[in-house]
Structure 1
Amino acid sequence: MNGARWLVQALVAEGVDTLFGYPGGAIMPFYDALHGAPELKHVLVRHEQGAAFAANGYARASGRVGVCVATSGPGASNLVTGIADAMLDSVPMVVVTGQVPTTLMGTDAFQELDVFGMTLPMVKHSFIARRVEDLPRIVGEAFRLARSGRPGPVLIDLPKDVQNADASQLPAHASLGIDDVDAPIDASLHAALALISQAQKPVLYGGGGIALGDALAAFRTFVDATQIPTVLTLKGLGALPAQHPLNLGMLGMHGTRAANLAVQESDLLIVVGARFDDRATGKLVEFAPHARIVHMDLDACEIGKLRHADAGVRGDIATTLTKLTLPCAAHLHGRHGAARRQWRAHCQERARQHAARYDAPGDTVYAPALLKRLSELAPDAVVACDVGQHQMWVAQHWRFDDPRKHLTSGALGAMGFGLPAAIGAQLALDKGRQPDARVICVSGDGSFLMNVQELATLRRYGLPVKIVLLDNQALGMVRQWQELFFARRYSEIDLSDNPDFVAVAQAFGIEALHVDRADGVEAALQALLEAKGPALLHVAIDQAANVWPLVPPNRNNAEMLDDSRPDSAAPSHATATPTTPQEDADALPA
């Protein structure tokens, strides 16, 4: 029993059944210990970034801790983007990296890298195991911290000699579980209730904290009881089903007109598990200018960080919503009831007036219509999305009914996330005994090539992930911004030399199809979904297609740009006043 074998047994004791990684010199004792551990399924990715994103997708889809492993030096540094993504989107992960022996640390040994220091700004905590006796404390704390409070990644840097050291004297590992979550204090609840009772134009603003706090049922009950119009962030999508009559859609840079205008006109924002991200608020000083703020969050650091909270309610979100539901409903249907009913009807009518159109002219494939149709054909699918125009189209047009079905790199905006995250999600659903669960990866031609090697992982494990690859032969979101805000000075966005993606997929042994006409979309989607194993649908779309609406940089959310041709659902251009690169510096797309 050495340190590596003890760690394998500890992972099993923590409930880990799947981990993602890539071996190398400094982590070889751990891989040797895995050889005799049937309880752990190790998934060999083809790049360490794929391991981090796959663990990330596993955690997002399941709500459990994702685990990834890499060797020292370049193995560890290749994990960094995935670790940062987990930190910024509050994803529970434990990251294990090999390290050179403790006697060589600090000597610039082969493949030595200070991953502890390198990742300090992007983890909840870091550990270096300098003695084998440290392992029980470190492993227990790592999993407790990853799971507790606002989740996030924790790093364990594991020197090779510690892995090889005698661990026969160590006790069997026992999980520390999870910290209790604080309940909100009564004074903050009374303050929130007082503001809500006075509001005539209230809006609920829900974010990713709803799913993280297991508050989905409480949030929906609150909405139904209070009948408050609701907007959602990118990570909050699905907290209220897309077809719910009070769901005005996503707010922010590419949010719906109904959502953005409701927020701008509101007199009270009830913010639930959201953090006033710049992509949601637009120009912050002009965001919801007439609204007072009730801010509910587990993380005290978020309350008042970007916008003053007139009532800050810190604590478990589900408990907060449950305690406020009945008294809020009584107040909202009593005094000012007529004004609130009129406000609700106004918001809903505007949502109907500005509902998305899918009757695009022409014979080419209109991506929003394709994605909306795919969401109808696969309503229970988990969607892992890359970053770019296709990401926003998914957010706008997919009809999500659960936030854990929408996996996307929100705060970091990391291209290359989609395919490995889909692999992790599929394995999470398989382990959850959902063999019929469907995972769909939506990617763009730019993002897809960043981790295309994970097609080999997909094929090796026979995972039935379905890939929709939207190909406009450009870095679409950057191209759109250069068109609108940089006087069409297109710089380094041309991807017209893309490979034949169908041939690429087939070379990996994956079934592939192609569609480039609107009249072929239905048959192509049916064929994709009916494929028995992994499959890719290559979709050629118009390079000039833009994501609408769009809030320009340094503008408030009421100043949305839209199609310059009002009778068309598939615009290629919109009029906009060009801004300078300096004005756009704080608002560039991913």
Structure 2
Amino acid sequence: MRLKVEPEAEPMAKKAMNGADIFIQALKNEKVEVIFGYPGGAVLPIYDALYKNPIDHVLARHEQGAIHAAEGYARISGKPGVVIATSGPGATNLVTGIADAMMDSMPLVIFTGQVGRGVIGTDAFQEADVVGITMPITKHNYQVRDVKELPRIIKEAFHIATTGRPGPVLVDIPKDIASEDAVVSFQTKINLPGYQPTLAPNVLQIRKLIEAIRTAKKPVLLAGSGIIHAKCSEELFTFAKNMKIPVVNTLLGLGGFPANDPLFLGMGGMHGTYTANMAMYESDLLICIGARFDDRLTGNIDHFAPNATVAHIDIDPAEIGKNITTQIPIVADAREALLSLLAGKGEPAQSEEWLKALAAYKVEYPLWYNESNNEAISPQKLVKMIYEMTNGDAIVTTDVGQHQMWTAQFYELNEPNRWVTSGGLGTMGFGFPAAIGAQIAAPEKTVVSIVGDAGFQMTFQELMLLVELKLPVKIVIMNNAALGMVRQWQETFYEERYSQSLIPMQPDFVKLAESFGIRGYQVQSEAEAEKILRETMKDRQPVLIDCRISPRENVYPMIAPGKGQHEMIGVKP
């Protein structure tokens, strides 16, 4: 990416500032409200500047907790999450979160400290080549080599992170840069010739899609998280209604179309609904908006929508045609594309019989689960109870695994910006710190973090923040004493050889919560769970509820590896 700076619009400031103060002023210019971070030697000048010029700072107890919290903040607020860590291990502890944000298109701006310029490349104490390490997992990254470049670089970093397809941008700042004095201007304009995202769709391709809709008899809309990022849920709803096209959401797109609407078919993919997957399989026109056709959605691509004309709307041209052959490619912002389609005033699809057939699928093949045997809690029933106790209005975060899929299946998401989960990277430990960031972004909302017993143990040190910041996050642990999804795959595909997936010893989660000053409960039955949820979901205090769920319960339906959408298992009891 070649970067070019236009002439400065105003004279340079007369007063010299050190790099750390320039850094703080640049963040203020970007209207940064909160920073998630952890100090260390290479960023001490920056933290000294924060002491003198405070911006709200969340002191995570581990850098991974900081960056996942920033992801949760970004997803719910729509603003970029800002992260600071020191050099070496501080920076490398962010790598998982950076990769997670890259896969899921989360706008983050990450600042890492670096050893002084004079010793870069000498294996100095706490030196790591963070630019080289993160190059494949960032949208762009920088290493500052001149203090006078700081205002421009920071301005560009925020612009790149939040425009086009959002993503993480990293700025590596050597310690001596943060201490060096300079006279700078903050009026530098952005001019990035190599970075010009296409927002408006091609008119001819829009007309081609409008004509395809007019003649389609089995159309389907596949809506991904691009709908959330582009803030166009209302436009999607109007378009689907006007054109009489049913809607499937990807995992990350949940909430982009109301789950209680008759046109909604459910989540597609490996653990999606039978109706959603068969709709895509049988479709004659598949319109994908803001999704990337990943393998967990498509199953075996040889059997994915085999009879469909595929239209793909995405702001990232690299995604179009990457996995699925596309007949109508439209590079555009999702909202701009939908506005153009609505303005085209095309005729609705001839979908009456199709909608009747899909409605019959819904009746014949609903999501199902085994009722509790009173020895443990049904996880699906637990999710439904949480939905009822929160009136479906909570912000819900999850880790990755069985509990994530049960939540996606049984917690109806009728509005955008209510769902925070790790999709592409599948990061254990994500859900709880993400809930912290989500609660900071929406302090008036109920935030429920539904996690597994294994994933929670990876980042539970952030419990202290609930007390320190007075955050009323509700933690619900689905405890089956196992790496649940690993155990399910070993049962299904490895002849029940449970190699290292069962967890024989756990901490006492109630005592753990209490040691941080948080109420904790252990519940063994659905009656207990209902009572405790009713008592705790409405108040404004943090709580941890350890729910002992059925240890052998599996997630169904399921597309097995190598199988097509039409070859789901477990579609009926």
Distance 1:361 1:101, change over 3 A: closer
Partner letter of residue 480 of structure 1?
A: Q
Which of 338, 358, 362 matches 2:373?
A: 362
Deviations 1:506-550 (A, max 9, x none): 111111112111222221111221343211111001110100111
Matches within 5 A, 1:64-79: 64-79=79-94
Deviation at 1:275, TM superposition (A): 1.0
Between the aligned partners of 2:538 and 2:234, the Cα distance in structure 1 is 33
Residues 55, 421 of structure 1: 8 Å contact kept: yes
Which of 36, 39, 50 matches 1:23?
A: 39
Which of 406, 410, 422 matches 1:409?
A: 422
Partner letter of residue 353 of structure 1?
A: E
Partner letter of residue 282 of structure 2?
A: E
SS of structure 2 residue aligned to 1:558: helix
Which of 458, 468, 475 matches 1:467?
A: 475
Residue 53 of structure 1: aligned partner: 68
Deviation at 1:356, TM superposition (A): 2.6
Normalized against structure 1, the TM-score is what?
Answer: 0.91
Between the aligned partners of 1:532 and 1:273, the Cα distance in structure 2 is 36
Matched, 1:377 2:394: no
Deviations 1:418-470 (A, max 9, x none): 1111111111113xxxxx21111110001000001111122211111110111
Deviation at 1:408, TM superposition (A): 0.4
Residues 22, 151 of structure 2: 8 Å contact kept: no
Deviation at 1:263, TM superposition (A): 1.0
Residue 533 of structure 1: aligned partner: 541
Between the aligned partners of 1:305 and 1:68, the Cα distance in structure 2 is 31
Deviations 1:83-108 (A, max 9, x none): 11111100111000000000010111
Matched, 1:562 2:570: yes
Identity fraction in percent: 46
Partner letter of residue 255 of structure 1?
A: G
Matched, 1:41 2:51: no
SS of structure 2 residue aligned to 1:403: coil
Partner letter of residue 193 of structure 1?
A: I
Residue 511 of structure 1: aligned partner: 519
Residue 227 of structure 1: aligned partner: 244
Residues 13, 175 of structure 1: 8 Å contact kept: no
Select between 282-291 and 317-326 the one with higher mean Cα deviation.
317-326
Which of 93, 105, 110 matches 2:120?
A: 105
Between the aligned partners of 1:508 and 1:173, the Cα distance in structure 2 is 46
SS of structure 2 residue aligned to 1:530: coil
Deviations 1:548-578 (A, max 9, x none): 11111100011111177x3xxxxxxxxxxxx
Which of 306, 309, 313 matches 1:292?
A: 309
Between the aligned partners of 2:329 and 2:357, the Cα distance in structure 1 is 28
Between the aligned partners of 1:331 and 1:460, the Cα distance in structure 2 is 54
Residues 253, 279 of structure 1: 8 Å contact kept: yes
Residue 129 of structure 1: aligned partner: 144
Which of 341, 348, 355 matches 2:352?
A: 341
Residue 116 of structure 1: aligned partner: 131
Which of 270, 275, 278 matches 2:292?
A: 275
Distance 1:242 1:424, change over 3 A: same
Deviation at 1:316, TM superposition (A): 2.0
Deviation at 1:300, TM superposition (A): 1.1
Deviation at 1:174, TM superposition (A): 6.5
Partner letter of residue 488 of structure 2?
A: Q
Residues 379, 550 of structure 2: 8 Å contact kept: no
Residue 413 of structure 2: aligned partner: 400
Partner letter of residue 62 of structure 1?
A: S
Residues 164, 333 of structure 2: 8 Å contact kept: no
Deviation at 1:329, TM superposition (A): 5.1
Residue 224 of structure 2: aligned partner: 207
**What RMSD in Å do the two structures reach over aligned CA positions?**
1.6
Deviation at 1:322, TM superposition (A): 2.1
Which of 186, 203, 214 matches 1:197?
A: 214
SS of structure 1 residue aligned to 2:286: strand
Residues 234, 250 of structure 1: 8 Å contact kept: yes
Partner letter of residue 67 of structure 1?
A: V
Give unmatched runs, 5+ long, in structure 1.
431-435, 567-590
Deviation at 1:194, TM superposition (A): 2.2
Residues 94, 154 of structure 1: 8 Å contact kept: yes
Deviations 1:272-314 (A, max 9, x none): 1111110000001111111110111111111111111111111
Residues 81, 108 of structure 2: 8 Å contact kept: yes
SS of structure 2 residue aligned to 1:523: helix
Matched, 1:500 2:508: yes
Residues 416, 450 of structure 1: 8 Å contact kept: yes
Select between 89-98 and 187-196 the one with higher mean Cα deviation.
187-196
Between the aligned partners of 2:519 and 2:433, the Cα distance in structure 1 is 18
Residues 70, 81 of structure 2: 8 Å contact kept: yes
Between the aligned partners of 1:107 and 1:146, the Cα distance in structure 2 is 31
Deviation at 1:354, TM superposition (A): 2.0
Residue 461 of structure 2: aligned partner: 453
Between the aligned partners of 1:45 and 1:331, the Cα distance in structure 2 is 51
Residues 197, 328 of structure 1: 8 Å contact kept: no
Residue 582 of structure 1: aligned partner: none
Deviation at 1:357, TM superposition (A): 3.7
Deviation at 1:358, TM superposition (A): 5.8
Between the aligned partners of 1:218 and 1:381, the Cα distance in structure 2 is 23
Residues 210, 346 of structure 2: 8 Å contact kept: no
SS of structure 2 residue aligned to 1:383: strand
Matched, 1:237 2:254: yes
Residue 403 of structure 2: aligned partner: 390
Residues 10, 172 of structure 1: 8 Å contact kept: yes
SS of structure 1 residue aligned to 2:118: coil
Partner letter of residue 447 of structure 1?
A: G
Residues 383, 405 of structure 1: 8 Å contact kept: yes
Between the aligned partners of 2:242 and 2:76, the Cα distance in structure 1 is 28
SS of structure 1 residue aligned to 2:322: coil
Between the aligned partners of 1:463 and 1:6, the Cα distance in structure 2 is 32
Distance 1:173 1:96, change over 3 A: farther
Matches within 5 A, 1:399-438: 399-430=412-443, 436-438=444-446
Residue 158 of structure 1: aligned partner: 173
Normalized against structure 2, the TM-score is what?
Answer: 0.94
Residues 528, 537 of structure 1: 8 Å contact kept: no
Distance 1:361 1:133, change over 3 A: closer
Residues 199, 336 of structure 2: 8 Å contact kept: no
Residues 406, 555 of structure 2: 8 Å contact kept: yes
Give unmatched runs, 5+ long, in structure 2.
1-16
Residues 225, 326 of structure 1: 8 Å contact kept: no
Between the aligned partners of 1:110 and 1:133, the Cα distance in structure 2 is 26
Distance 1:179 1:8, change over 3 A: farther
Partner letter of residue 31 of structure 1?
A: Y
Matched, 1:553 2:532: no
Select between 533-542 and 322-331 the one with higher mean Cα deviation.
322-331
SS of structure 2 residue aligned to 1:323: helix
Deviation at 1:246, TM superposition (A): 0.6
Deviation at 1:56, TM superposition (A): 0.9
Between the aligned partners of 1:289 and 1:536, the Cα distance in structure 2 is 46
